[in-house]
């Protein structure tokens, strides 16, 4: 039997810590939660559509994002967004390690919040360990129960908030509690409440160490120049290894004289680690590079008046005394790719056409002979008004001198904001004695009647016997 898989989880009670990385993480926490929980409620005024800044309207097939309204045919923007996200991850991971895991991953953010709740109710690490070891009594029931209750509340609100992105927030919330919401909402809330609670509250670091694929492949992106949270073994271990603070080992001079390193083996860096590893064992797959051990060690160094940086961001090259190269082929390549994708996406969004068109020629049959010998082709034209204003269009053809356009009663069209329309049109040519070409290219011209400009030109073909 594989020993590793049989290893039972040792429950973790990370100690809280103060420091610059903790402050940085806190500010990300505040911003991320403000965005996540607040965004569905942010009002926004639009001439048509909902009065929310962000709303993903699946039924109406429109995705409102501040001033932008994204329709399904622009879904490839999402591909651009995902490409940017992936490239950014590759770039940052190459330069500074698992920055995403340590500071921005929702698993990290949510378990951090759950740790804070646990800490607030059950106290610091020793108190939590004591509580876990003691037998079930009133105090334990009360504290654990209250913790779980708060966790559940956070998980529930997290789940509710997720669903609020897909409808008008206030209305959806009211319907949720009056039992009138769609079953999809109840199912989503149930599933997300359960997963948030188990993942952030119970599974925690196991998600990073056992479930998450990113932790595995990010390590493959490190190189010698990647800055990682690392223990300076040369300084910490000295010649004879780390040593506790004992008599005769109290100052740096004394220690260096006896060959001991600067690490006083206080264990603070291990106690604060949210994944329960010892950073002094070197680079390991469980390390999410959150920087909390740096804060812990720096605090100890401060109290001893020793220099910072026994644990710090450093690279293999630095450890060997070399100089880190950030701008190497790999990172420049990723940066370039990010710039290109961002530029293409930006261009595509800013040059979004006001009128989207599509054309299908009737193929069965391609042409019809009419009673006077003229030839008829039919087309289905689809027009989609992408703007939030009402538009007036007229349709004409260009490129066939002898052709006549028949749009039924719709030579002029009014298109409501964000609406689309399918239209059957016919084109007739009277060849007289001439024989028509088997295929002729021509264009449909859609003109905006208000601005008097061409809104779209649709290439088409005319077939004749």
Q: Which residues bind another protein (CB under 8 A)?
A: 1, 3, 6-8, 362-365, 368-373, 376, 378, 380, 406, 408-410, 413, 421-424, 426
- Pick 149 or 187: Cβ nearer another protein: 187
Strands 391-398 and 355-361: unpaired
**How many CA atoms are closer than 13 Å to the CA of 157, on its beta-carbon side?**
10
Whole-angstrom Cα distance, residue 84 to residue 340?
9
Question: Taking the CA atoms of the chain, what radius of gyration do you get in angstroms?
Answer: 33
Q: How far is the CB of 369 from another protein (least distance, A)?
A: 6
Q: How far is the CB of 418 from another protein (least distance, A)?
A: 14
With respect to another protein, which residue has the nearer C-beta, 7 or 320? 7
CA distance 31 to 109: 11
Q: Which lies closer to another protein via its Cβ, residue 147 or residue 378?
A: 378
Q: Which is nearer to another protein, 3 or 303 (CB)?
A: 3
Say how far apart CA 280 and CA 401 lie, in whole Å.
Answer: 83
Question: Which residue number, 89 or 207, has a Cβ lying nearer to another protein?
Answer: 207
**Least CB distance to another protein at residue 426 (A):** 7
| Spatial separation of the C-alpha atoms in residues 396 and 455, rounded to whole Å | 12
Q: Is the dihedral of CA 159, 163, 169, 170 positive or negative?
A: negative
Give the residue with the Cβ less far from another protein, 132 or 424.
Answer: 424
Nearer to another protein by Cβ, of 98 and 447: the residue is: 447
Least Å from the CB of residue 366 to another protein: 9
Instruction: Work out how close the CB of 59 gets to another protein at its nearest, in angstroms, rounded to a whole number.
Output: 9
What tokens does 463 get? Answer: 């077939």
Q: Which is nearer to another protein, 272 or 458 (CB)?
A: 458
Cα distance between residue 209 and residue 285, in whole Å: 7
**Which token pair is 439?**
């295929």
Q: Who contacts 187 (Cβ-Cβ below 8 Å, separation ≥6)? A: none
Q: How many CA atoms lie within 13 A of 89 on its CB side?
A: 17
CA distances from 234 to 238, 260, 282, 315 (A): 6, 11, 12, 14
> What secondary structure letter does DSSP report for 52?
B
- Minimum CB separation of residue 422 from another protein in Å reads 5
For another protein, the closer CB: 53 or 395: 395
State the minimum distance, in angstroms, from the CB of residue 377 to another protein: 10
In the complex, least distance from residue 374 CB atom to another protein, rounded to whole angstroms: 8
Determine contact, residues 387/354, Cβ cutoff 8 Å: yes
Looking only at the bridges linking them, the beta strands covering 355-361 and 375-385 are antiparallel
The DSSP H or E segment spanning 456 is strand 453-463
- Smallest gap from Cβ 371 to another protein, in A, equals 3
């Amino acid at each position: 039997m594989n020993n590793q898989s049989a290893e039972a989880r040792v429950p973790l009670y990370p100690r809280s810590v103060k420091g610059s990385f903790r402050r940085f993480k806190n500010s990300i926490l505040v911003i991320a939660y403000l965005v996540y929980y607040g965004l569905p409620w942010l009002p926004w005024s639009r001439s048509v559509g909902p009065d929310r800044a962000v709303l993903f309207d699946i039924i109406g097939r429109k995705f409102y994002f501040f001033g932008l309204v994204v329709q399904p045919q622009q879904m490839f923007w999402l591909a651009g967004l995902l490409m940017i996200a992936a490239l950014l991850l590759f770039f940052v991971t190459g330069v500074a390690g698992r920055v995403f895991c340590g500071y921005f991953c929702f698993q990290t953010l949510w378990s951090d919040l759950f740790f804070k709740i646990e800490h607030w109710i059950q106290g610091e690490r020793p108190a939590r360990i004591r509580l876990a070891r003691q037998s079930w009594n009133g105090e334990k029931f009360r504290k654990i129960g209250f913790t779980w209750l708060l966790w559940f509340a956070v998980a529930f609100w997290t789940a509710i908030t997720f669903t609020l992105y897909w409808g008008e927030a206030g209305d959806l919330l009211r319907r949720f509690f009056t039992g009138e919401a769609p079953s999809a909402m109840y199912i989503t809330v149930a599933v997300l409440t359960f997963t948030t609670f188990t993942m952030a509250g119970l599974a925690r670091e196991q998600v990073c160490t056992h479930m998450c694929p990113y932790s595995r492949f990010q390590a493959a992106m490190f190189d010698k120049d990647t800055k990682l949270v690392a223990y300076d073994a040369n300084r910490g271990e000295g010649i004879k290894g780390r040593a506790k603070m004992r008599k005769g080992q109290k100052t740096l001079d004394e220690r260096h004289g006896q060959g001991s390193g600067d690490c006083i083996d206080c264990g603070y860096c291990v106690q604060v680690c949210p994944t329960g590893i010892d950073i002094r064992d070197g680079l390991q797959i469980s390390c999410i590079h959150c920087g909390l051990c740096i804060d812990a060690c720096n605090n100890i160094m401060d109290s001893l008046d020793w220099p910072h940086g026994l644990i710090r961001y450093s690279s293999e090259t630095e450890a060997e005394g070399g100089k880190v190269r950030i701008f190497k082929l790999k990172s420049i390549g990723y940066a370039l790719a990010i710039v290109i994708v961002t530029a293409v996406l930006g261009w595509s969004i800013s040059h979004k056409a006001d009128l989207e068109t599509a054309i299908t020629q009737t193929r069965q049959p391609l042409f019809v002979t009419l009673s006077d010998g003229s030839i008829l082709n039919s087309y289905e034209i689809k027009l989609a008004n992408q703007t939030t204003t009402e538009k007036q269009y007229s349709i004409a053809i260009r490129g066939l001198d002898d052709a006549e356009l028949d749009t039924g009663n719709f030579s002029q069209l009014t298109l409501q904001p964000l609406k689309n329309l399918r239209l059957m049109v016919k084109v007739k040519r009277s060849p007289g004695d001439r024989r028509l070409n088997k295929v002729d290219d021509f264009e449909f011209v859609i003109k905006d009647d208000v601005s008097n400009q061409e809104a779209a030109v649709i290439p088409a073909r005319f077939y004749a016997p």
